[in-house]
Structure 1
Amino acid sequence: MKIGAQWKKQIEVRQSIMSDFNTIDKCLCCDGDNIKLLLDLNEQPLANSYHDNTEKLEKYPLGVNLCQDCYHIQLTDAVNPDLLFKDYLYVSGTTQTLKDNFKWFADYVIENSPVCNHVLDIACNDGTQLDYFKDRGVETYGIDPAENLWELNSKNHNVKCEYFDSVFFGFRFDVITAQNVFAHSGNPKKFLDDCFELMNDNSTLYIQTSQAEMILNNQFDTIYHEHVSFFNINSFNELVKRTNLHLVDVIKTPVHGISYLFVLSKTSYNQQKIKNEIEVERQRGLLSQKTYDNYKLKVLDIVDYFKLLVEQSRDEGYKIVGYGAAAKGMTFLNFADVKLDVIIDDNSLKQELYTPGTNVFIKSIECLKSYNENDKILFIPLAWNFYDEIRERIKIVRDNEKDLFLKYFPKVKFEGIDYGK
Structure 2
Amino acid sequence: MESQVVALNSDIHRWRKYSISEIVKILQLRFLFFSAGNIREHEFFSRKFDAELMPIGRHGLTAGWLIESLGALLDSDKVRNIKCKQLGSDGFVSQIMRVTVEFKNNQKHKYIVKMPETTNIKAALEMTTNQKMPEGADEQFIGGLTMFFNREVDFYLMDKIPGLRLPRCFHSQQWNHGKTTGAIVMQDLEGMVSVPYYESLNLQQIASIGCQMLNLHLFSIDLSEDWKQKFPFPMEFIDTVSNMTDIVKLYVSRNPELEETFSRVEKMYNSRELFVKVLRDSHEALEIDTFLCHGDLWFYNLMWIPTVDGSEEASNHLGAIIDWQNVHTGSIAEDFCHMLTFCCDTETRRLAEKIFLPYYFKMLQSKAKDAGKELKMTLNQFMRAYRRNFIAHALHLPFITSIMLCVKPADDEIVQQNRNQQLLRKVLGAWDDALDAFHEEYPDFCL
Q: TM-score normalized by structure 2?
A: 0.27
Structure 1 or 2: larger strand share? 1
Structure 1 or 2: larger helix share? 2
User: Which has the greater radius of gyration?
Assistant: 2
